[in-house]
Amino acid sequence: MATTREGARPGWVRLCRADEIEEGQSRGFDPDDEGQDSLFVVRWQGQLHAWRNACPHIDGAPMAWRRDAYLNAAGTRIVCHAHGAEFMPDSGLCVQGPCRGERLGHIEFVVDADGELFVKS
Amino acid sequence: MKIVGLESLVFAVDDVRSAARFLVDYGLTPVDVSDRGGRFEAMDGTAVVIARQDDPALPPGPTPGCRLRKTVMGVADEATLGAIAAELRRDREVRRLPDGSIESIDDCGFVIGFQVTARRPFVLPSEISNAPGGVVFRPVNSLGVPPPGSVIRPRSLSHVVYFVPDVMKAEAFYVNRLGFRCTDRFTGTGPFLQPAGSLDHHTHFLIGAPPHMHGVEHFTFHFGGPSEMITNGYRFVEKGYQAFWGPGRHILGSNWFWYFNSPFGCHIEMDADMDQHDASWQPREATASADNSQTFLLKMRRKWYPGPGIPENGDYA
């Protein structure tokens, strides 16, 4: 996880406070106001990871089954709730399902010195 | 063989409480639900049944990732049940369960059950369109749009769609062993199948897919009409559920559709107004593109006239 004091610079969009996303939790965001969450952030084994909300097996398929619900019940896998593909939260690698071996699209983010989470707009 | 349609679908879930809330929000009625699972019924008693994924009573799925563990079909009478048991016992095990149903496995690895149907007949008007020159009209002063707060419930379990690694083998099982007929077909994809005791365009649709996709694409319940179904879908979206495709109307089958993600490792659909066919129907064949699947797709516009919250230059730029 990158840490910077320049998170508020132009070209970056604030999502939330980093500590609002707890261990084993996920949250979706719509920073470009598309009307649907375009990315989501998970915290797994202490670390935050941000991924495009788009299953690699169908171009652009949204993955949650309910707002912010991207993980299995144990919080150990990201699940695409279209056809059940499972991904590792840290690498985005699909380990089970229709796109096994493919990866989620990585989203670059920073957490600034105040603990605020930003992504590139 | 008079199979009348789907009776219930049994799913293994990793979070009973969340899955139960999802099904109730979809419109189903919980029956005998506990922290171990339960039954969620449409108006005629057809149902989704969920159980914890570690429940030893669950049959195995076709693949480890498939949460559908059993597809139960309803049949007209005991004679049909006996005929199915005799047919399947020719080459596979058929178990008689304590509830009187029978259980076996199809040729693509899905556990199947059959029971004398327990569907509860009911009479409730379906959606009627008023049109100049029409023959059937809604009663005068009755409303076409479901009023806010009206209760909308799924009427009956409609169909299930399987991904199968050998679609010809799977089709042959349902047609030759269980008496289904193909109503329409997507070339190179698979058939829409109708059992002998139903006029619905399909209760099963088979999609040929690589072995690692073996499982379920979606399942769905019939609603009372497109207005009711789409109203229910919008309510579902407002509760935070994730739409995938729709609302729109299919070409083959003519059913209105709206697909959503689900906690069952597959999509769930809401559908309405599916075509009915009898044995005189000649199957059509089409390529399985999106253009051949949707006759139209609807999009909601929240603001459509100038007013508060609308930019000076309008909302159309």
Which CATH number do you get for residue A101?
2.102.10.10
Any A CB within 8 A of B240 CB: yes
Q: Which A-chain residues 54-93 have CB contacts (< 8 A) with chain B?
A: 61-67, 69, 72-74, 79-84, 86
Domains of chain B: 3-119+152-297 (3.10.180.10)
Q: Which residues of B touch A81 (CB under 8 A)?
A: 242, 261-263, 265
How many A/B residue pairs have CB atoms within 8 Å?
A: 65
Rounded-to-integer distance, Cα A9 and Cα A100, Å:
38
CA A67 → CA A25, A39, A53, B85, distances in Å?
A: 12, 12, 12, 45
| Averaged pLDDT, A47-63 | 93
Q: Chain B: residue nearest A36 by CA?
A: B242
**Helix, coil or strand: residue B199:** coil
Write the pLDDT tens digit of every residue in B56-96.
999 999 998 999 999 999 999 999 999 999 999 999 999 99
Average pLDDT of chain B, as a whole number: 94
- What residue type is B291 in one-letter code? D
Neighbours of A5 (CB within 10 A): 10
Number of domains in chain A: 1
Out of A54-58, A67-71, B10-14, B259-263, least confident range: A54-58
Domain range for A32? 3-120
CA angle (B176, B106, B26) in 5-degree steps: 110
Supply the ipTM of this predicted assembly: 0.91
Comparing A56-65, B44-53, B186-195, B283-292, which segment has the lowest mean pLDDT? Answer: B283-292
> In the predicted model, is pLDDT for residue A10 greater than 90?
no
Mind listing the pLDDT tens digit for each residue in A74-85?
999 999 999 999
Any CB–CB contact under 8 A between B285 and chain A? no
Please determine, for residue B167, whether its predicted confidence score (pLDDT) is greater than 80: yes
Q: Is B291 helix (H, G, I), strand (E, B) or coil?
A: helix
- Token pair, residue B136, equals 């059937």
Tens of pLDDT, residue by residue over A15-44, are 999 999 999 999 999 998 888 999 999 999
Of the partner residues A72, A74, A81, the one whose CB lies closest to the CB of residue B261:
A81
> What confidence score (pLDDT) does residue A7 get?
45
Residue located via tokens 């495009």:
A52
Average pLDDT of span B184-203: 96
Contacts of B274 (CB under 8 A, 6+ apart): B158, B200, B201, B202, B222, B253, B254, B255
Contacts of B217 in chain A (CB under 8 A): 83
Q: Decide if pLDDT at A8 tops 80.
A: no
CA separation for the pair B300, B210 (Å, rounded): 36
